[in-house]
């Protein structure tokens, strides 16, 4: 059984949002009666606005990435459930300064549909809206909630690079172009050691035996590629990195950003051990880590496990990656 520090299982997202706003009232605000959280001061004149969002349960995604040089707003859904069309639409209206809005959407059928419909509604009112679909998970082509690949932790890099571009005063077209370039340069894959439980359901989403792990798992516990005996960190690193490199070959001397993302319950100690294995494996192939990210960036409630994300860099992406941001959860090492 999974125990939780909550009040009412049906109200977890509402109450989490109340907590977020109480904790961060100097920087954030909530649009009344919605699950939309924006920067305190929006719209920002002469800046393309960025919105992301999706089901809750992946914290700090996406509210933790609201800040200078990243997102202007996040639209939350219930746990593992897409945000509504109306709420995405309200977010667009709230952040648009006339410079346009770029939506960063993880590739889940419900998310894509609802962000898309909201964009159409906004466009009818003359707001320029573009959207970019993130599908970085190389594990499976189609999945429980997707047609095509799933969007997972690589989404954070799309927030960062497109956000940095917008901060420079770029046009909507230029911001979208950077977001798309990032999507084309980023790949991820994850592993689960244990399951998680949606509060309103209470039971775990799936079950793994005491000696098992699931390779290629999604961030909602959707099935991966295979279940196998839990191996040591070195073997896990290999099982996650090789499919990424098979999908996005990297030449000797290639520079990357490397993220080891914890799924929720996995201690930071283990993330660093996995990081070491991945870093060394890549170095042996002549691939150089330009910037490292180790921590919880895109979680699945209390799921045990981790994902690896590799972002292939060039000079343009590097400068956007290290541009200043005050989003509290975007920690670079």
Binding segment toward its own copies, per CB under 8 A, in 38-46, 111-119, 167-175, 210-218: 210-218
Of 129 and 258, nearer to its own copies (C-beta) is 258
Three-state SS at 73: strand
For 211, residues 6+ apart whose C-beta sits below 8 A from its C-beta are 229, 230
d(CA 253, CA 240): 21
Q: Which of 62, 220, 279, 329 is an active site residue?
A: 220
Q: Is 220 a catalytic residue?
A: yes
Q: Is 62 a catalytic residue?
A: no
Binding segment toward its own copies, per CB under 8 A, in 67-75, 108-116, 135-143, 291-299: 291-299
Cα–Cα distances (Å) from 290 to 129, 180, 210, 293, 322, in that order, read 33, 21, 37, 10, 10
Burial profile 145-155: b = 16 or more Cβ within 10 angstroms, e = fewer:
bbeebbbbbbb
Of 85 and 289, nearer to its own copies (C-beta) is 289
Sheet containing strand 304-312, edge to edge, reads: 226-229, 212-215, 186-194, 304-312, 255-262, 288-295
In residues, how long is the chain? 333
Binding to its own copies by residue 292, rule CB under 8 A? Answer: yes
Least distance in Å: CB of 161 to its own copies? 20
Instruction: State the CB neighbour count (10 A cutoff) for residue 189.
Output: 27
- Reported as half-sphere exposure (CB side, CA atoms, 13 A), residue 112 has a value of 15
Of 94 and 260, nearer to its own copies (C-beta) is 260
* Six-digit token string for 33: 């009666």
Binding to its own copies by residue 15, rule CB under 8 A? Answer: yes
Binding to its own copies by residue 60, rule CB under 8 A? Answer: yes
Q: Which parts of 148-207 interact with its own copies (CB under 8 A)?
A: 191, 193-194
Please report, as ranges, the residues that interact with its own copies according to CB under 8 A.
Answer: 1, 3-8, 12-13, 15-20, 22-24, 27, 56-57, 59-60, 64, 79, 191, 193-194, 210-211, 213, 230, 232-234, 236, 264-277, 279-280, 289, 292, 294, 296, 299, 301-302, 304-306, 328-329, 331-333
Give the active site residues.
58, 220
């Amino acid at each position: 059984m999974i125990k939780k520090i909550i009040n009412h299982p049906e109200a977890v997202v509402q109450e989490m949002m109340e907590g977020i706003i109480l904790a961060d009232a100097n920087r954030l605000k909530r649009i009344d009666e919605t699950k939309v959280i924006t920067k305190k001061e929006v719209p920002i004149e002469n800046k393309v606005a960025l919105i992301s969002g999706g089901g809750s349960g992946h914290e700090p995604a996406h509210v933790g990435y609201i800040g200078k040089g990243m997102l202007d707003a996040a639209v939350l859904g219930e746990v593992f459930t897409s945000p509504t069309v109306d709420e995405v639409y309200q977010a667009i209206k709230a952040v648009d300064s006339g410079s346009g809005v770029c939506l960063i959407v993880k590739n889940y059928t419900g998310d894509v549909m609802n962000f898309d419909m909201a964009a159409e509604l906004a466009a009818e009112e003359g707001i320029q809206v573009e959207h970019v679909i993130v599908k970085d998970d190389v594990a499976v082509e189609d999945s429980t909630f997707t047609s095509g690949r799933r969007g997972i932790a690589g989404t954070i890099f799309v927030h960062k690079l497109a956000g940095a571009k917008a901060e420079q005063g770029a046009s909507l077209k230029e911001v979208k172009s950077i977001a798309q370039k990032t999507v084309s340069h980023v790949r991820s894959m994850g592993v689960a050691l244990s399951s998680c439980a949606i509060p309103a359901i209470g039971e775990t989403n799936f079950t793994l035996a005491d000696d098992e792990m699931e390779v290629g798992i999604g961030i909602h516990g959707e099935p991966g590629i295979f279940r196998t005996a839990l191996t040591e960190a070195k073997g896990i690193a290999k099982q996650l990195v090789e499919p990424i490199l098979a999908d996005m070959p990297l030449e000797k001397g290639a520079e990357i950003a490397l993220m080891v993302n914890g799924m929720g319950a996995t201690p930071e100690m283990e993330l660093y051990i996995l990081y070491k294995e991945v870093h060394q494996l890549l170095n042996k192939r002549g691939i150089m880590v330009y910037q490292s990210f180790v921590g919880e960036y895109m979680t699945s409630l209390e799921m045990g496990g981790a994902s690896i994300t590799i972002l292939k860099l060039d000079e343009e992406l590097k400068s956007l990656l290290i541009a200043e941001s005050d989003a509290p959860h975007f920690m670079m090492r």
